[in-house]
Amino acid sequence: MTQTRDDVIRLVKEGNTAVAWITTKGAVVHVPTQPTVCIESVDASFFDDPAFPKPVLVISGTKGLSAVDPEWDGRDLFTCSNPECKQTHNSDWTTHDNLWRKTTHA
C-alpha cells in the first residue's frame, strides 16, 4: 500500500511506527522515543533484518520527513530567510539536508 505524505506524517506523530526514508545518501531512520539517525550507504534491504524493530515503514525519498522536526510549522514549503536567497524550499528535503549536515559535523 502506498502511503501519502499525510499518512507518513500521521504515523510519525502517533509514535507507534518506525519509519526509514531511503535516499541517495542512505537512510534517515526514526524510531519512536529514539533520536532520528542517518545511516550512510544503506538501502531498503537493510530493514529486512528481523533484529530491526517492527513495524517499520520504508519510504523511498523524503515524503513526510519534516514531521521528525519538533520545530516544523506544518507547511510543505517555506521561504528561505537568507536575504541573498529568498527562494521557496521543500520542507522535507530541507529536513533531510539538515539531518545529514548534523551527522557529518557531529
| Tens digit of pLDDT at every position of the chain (106 positions) | 679 999 999 999 999 999 999 999 999 999 998 999 999 999 999 998 887 767 789 999 999 999 999 999 999 998 888 889 889 999 999 999 999 999 876 5
The pTM of the full predicted model, rounded to 2 decimals, is: 0.89
Residue 54 pairs in a beta bridge with none
Instruction: Determine the Cα–Cα distance for residues 88 and 100; give it in Å rounded to an integer.
Output: 20
Q: What is the domain extent for residue 52?
A: 5-104
Kindly give, in sequence order, each residue whose CB lies less than 8 Å from that of residue 64, ignoring residues fewer than 6 positions away: 3, 5, 6, 7, 8, 9, 11, 12, 19, 92
Asked whether the CA dihedral 62, 98, 20, 72 is positive or negative, the reply is: negative
Number of structural domains found in the chain? 1
- The C-alpha cell of 57 is what? 515503514
